[in-house]
Amino acid sequence: MADFADAAERMPAGGMDGVELQVYGHPLDQFWSPLSKDLEGPYGADSLENRLRFPLEVLAAIRNRVGGEFIVGFRYTADEAQRGGITEDEGVEISKRLAATGQVDFLNVIRGRIHTDPAMTDVIPVLGMRTAPHLDLAGRVRRATGMPTFHAARIPDVATARHAVREGLLDMVGMTRAHMADPHIVRKIVEGREADIRPRVGATYCLDRIYQAGEALCIHNAATGRELSMPHTIAPASERRRIVIVGAGPGGLEAARVASERGRRVTVFEAQPDPGGQVRLTARSPRRRDMLSIIDWRMAQCAARDVEFHFGVWAGVEEVTALEPDVAIVATGGTPNTELFESGKDAPHVSTAWDLIAGDEKPADRVLIYDESGDHPALQAAEVAASAGAEVEIMTPDRTFAPEVMGMNLVPYMSALQGGNVKFTVARRLLNVERSGNGLTAVIGTDYGGHVERIEYDQVVLNYGTLPLAELYFDLKPFSSNGGAVDHDALIAGRPQAISRNADGAFKLFRVGDAVSARNTHAAIYDALRLVKDL
């Protein structure tokens, strides 16, 4: 108890206006939850009064130290949503008792528990899950207590937040991931620029990284977490230049957005009829459809700055050079790699994860999904196959599957796959694929010894990363002044690119995203931002 009070006392001394006690998944919650409380005596589990005794004693000790003017709030679960746990009715009663102490200034309400990845994603819903699923609970607590009530759980946009306040459900709306996507939400609202707010996608790249001890990075705002080196607001350039970009995936569109905010004249070529690149492929999965807002927002930003787009155009050297650019950026992405590591040759008779996701191929009866990359496409393809009724095996040479997907994002995949005929095989490497009558024989080994076996499947699907689609970059190099080279010291330091290798070159040439090497959406966007902000 004294430790809580000591910590709270340091806050006003440090210039803070208040503290919030987190009372779920932590010691205070373990005292009042029936799921973790088995003590006897005055702190025993036999009554709600006894279960609340220690948390309320902590609250009293804190208030005694910090006085009446310092803000103290509780963030707690008012419904554990699990058999044997705190029910919604009991949570409302707890809320009333907190309010009755007169020692708490606000209540911050959640629903659920955080003891497993699936439970965590119910508390903090991810992409494809229901928007603002717990507002009803927060509203009930507010009505029952009359206390200032806060709440945060997949409240993705200003419209939802406005509804929650207008309808009397909340007094303050928590939008953590939304502010990571765009820390200037409030300023843009005040300035009447809601349409400019960068949308929160719900990809939860940020939290998944935190829970694996990584930096808190946003999937489509590469400045978040890098404020010392990357700008949230793009500074205009002093002179106007012509920039031509080939490719309208996330990297190409970010390059176009940043260049146009710099005041450049920007033209974008895209071979497909629509923008988006691999993000559009990702969005073929219904629950990942919101990923398209990464593309839609950039298209809107580009439209507001008169970026010129040419869709359905396979741009070559002539199309690029005809515009007499000062800078050409190749953002043409990549194509699926089908070369097996062991043989160094393309695997015969195989499909790719992209084929299944795009619907270009239908799943067969017995499907092997062989995953060397550990990212989303393998699980997306497995979900497609399982939903079609296929018998699916997901195989990886690693000791764990899908490490790049991370914990919270793995939950909806596992929820979808557990109900099907799906098994997971680790520490097995695909060595070769042979035709066997109407089926396929997969030759499978392991990195942990000489074991080799042959297993029959109807379809073998590879997720083996991508290879750069970079022919245009190499075709343009002889016409460029920098020979397509990047000054990496300047890139890191935030200085303009000044390499000159060809006196006859008419433009500087760069490439970003998968046109360099296989990478994820965040990395492609980061490529573009850190390069183009200084061009």
Q: How confident is the model at residue 267 (pLDDT cuts 50, 70, 90)?
A: very high
Give the DSSP H/E element, type plus range, for residue 522. Answer: helix 521-532
pLDDT of 45 reads 81
Report residue 58 as tokens.
């902590």
Q: Enumerate the β-bridge partners of residue 107.
A: 74, 149
In a domain, 123, yes or no: yes
Number of Cβ within 10 Å of residue 450's Cβ equals 6
In a domain, 167, yes or no: yes
In a domain, 112, yes or no: yes
Whether 9 and 158 map to the same domain: the answer is yes
Torsion from C-alpha of 490, 491, 495, 496, nearest 10 degrees: 100
Whether 119 and 43 map to the same domain: the answer is yes
CATH code at 141? 3.20.20.70
Average pLDDT, the chain: 95
Whether 196 and 324 map to the same domain: the answer is no
Q: Enumerate the β-bridge partners of residue 395.
A: 370, 425
Handedness of CA 274, 276, 277, 283 (dihedral sign): negative
Give the DSSP H/E element, type plus range, for residue 6. Answer: helix 2-13
* Full residue range of the structural domain in which residue 89 is found: 2-174
In a domain, 340, yes or no: no
More confident residue, 502 or 342: 502
Report residue 492 as tokens.
């890191």
pLDDT of 261 reads 97
181 vs 207: CA distance, rounded Å: 12
Report residue 272 as tokens.
């497909």
Kindly report, residue by residue over 226-241, the tens digit of the pLDDT: 999 999 999 999 888 9
Whether 385 and 248 map to the same domain: the answer is no
In a domain, 101, yes or no: yes
The full length of the chain comes to 535
425, burial (CB in 10 Å: exposed 0-12, middle 13-18, buried 19+): middle
Least confident of 54-63, 204-213, 522-531: 204-213
174, 191, 213 — which closes off a domain?
174
Torsion from C-alpha of 482, 486, 487, 491, nearest 10 degrees: 130
233, 250, 270 — which closes off a domain?
233
| Three-state SS at 445 | strand
pLDDT of 37 reads 75
CATH code at 506? 3.40.50.720
Share of the chain above pLDDT 90, in %: 92
Phi, psi for 343 (deg, rounded to 5):
-90, -25
Sequence-distant (6+) residues with CB within 8 A of 184 are 197, 232, 233
CATH code at 428? 3.50.50.60
Strands 106-110 and 71-77: parallel
The identity of residue 512, as a single letter, is: V
How far is the CA of 133 from the CAs of 97, 129, 155, 157, 162, in angstroms?
Answer: 25, 9, 9, 14, 16
| Three-state SS at 109 | strand
pLDDT of 526 reads 98
Kindly report, residue by residue over 466-478, the tens digit of the pLDDT: 999 999 999 999 9
pLDDT above 90 (res 341):
no
* Nearest residue to 170 via CA among 122, 121, 107: 107
How far is the CA of 129 from the CAs of 153, 156, 201, in angstroms?
Answer: 11, 12, 11
Whether 149 and 23 map to the same domain: the answer is yes
Report residue 69 as tokens.
């003017």
pLDDT above 90 (res 39):
no
454 vs 357: CA distance, rounded Å: 27
Q: How confident is the model at residue 36 (pLDDT cuts 50, 70, 90)?
A: confident
Least confident of 44-48, 86-90, 330-334: 44-48
377 vs 394: CA distance, rounded Å: 12
Least confident of 30-44, 318-332, 386-400: 30-44
Q: How many domains in the chain?
A: 4
Under a CB-based contact definition with an 8 Å cutoff, are residues 525 and 218 in contact? Answer: no
Phi-psi region of 116 (alpha: psi -120 to 50; beta: other; left: phi over 0): beta
153 vs 285: CA distance, rounded Å: 23
Whether 195 and 258 map to the same domain: the answer is no
Whether 29 and 86 map to the same domain: the answer is yes
The identity of residue 392, as a single letter, is: V
Cα maximum dimension of the chain: 87
Q: Enumerate the β-bridge partners of residue 392.
A: 367, 422
Phi, psi for 338 (deg, rounded to 5):
-120, 20
In a domain, 342, yes or no: no
In a domain, 346, yes or no: no
Whether 216 and 98 map to the same domain: the answer is no
Whether 422 and 308 map to the same domain: the answer is no
pLDDT above 80 (res 22):
yes
In a domain, 341, yes or no: no
pLDDT above 80 (res 343):
no
Query: Mean pLDDT across the stretch 270-278?
Result: 97
Kindly report, residue by residue over 107-122, the tens digit of the pLDDT: 999 999 999 999 999 9
Sequence-distant (6+) residues with CB within 8 A of 368 are 393, 395, 430, 442, 455, 457, 459, 460, 461
Q: How confident is the model at residue 331 (pLDDT cuts 50, 70, 90)?
A: very high
Sequence-distant (6+) residues with CB within 8 A of 498 are 487, 490
Whether 500 and 408 map to the same domain: the answer is no
Gyration radius of the chain over CA positions: 27
Under a CB-based contact definition with an 8 Å cutoff, are residues 417 and 391 in contact? Answer: no
Alpha helix stretches (DSSP H) within 226-330: 250-261, 278-282, 292-303, 317-321
Whether 20 and 149 map to the same domain: the answer is yes
pLDDT of 46 reads 84
pLDDT of 298 reads 98
233, 251, 268 — which closes off a domain?
233
Report residue 436 as tokens.
């066997």
Kindly report, residue by residue over 356-405, the tens digit of the pLDDT: 999 999 999 999 999 999 999 999 999 999 999 999 999 999 999 999 99
* Nearest residue to 80 via CA among 137, 140, 149, 151: 137
Q: How confident is the model at residue 427 (pLDDT cuts 50, 70, 90)?
A: very high
276 vs 249: CA distance, rounded Å: 4
Kindly report, residue by residue over 370-380, the tens digit of the pLDDT: 999 999 999 99
Helix axes 88-100, 135-145, angle to 10 degrees: 40
Whether 45 and 70 map to the same domain: the answer is yes
Kindly report, residue by residue over 206-228, the tens digit of the pLDDT: 999 999 899 999 999 999 999 99
pLDDT above 90 (res 453):
yes
- What is the value of pTM for the model shown? 0.94
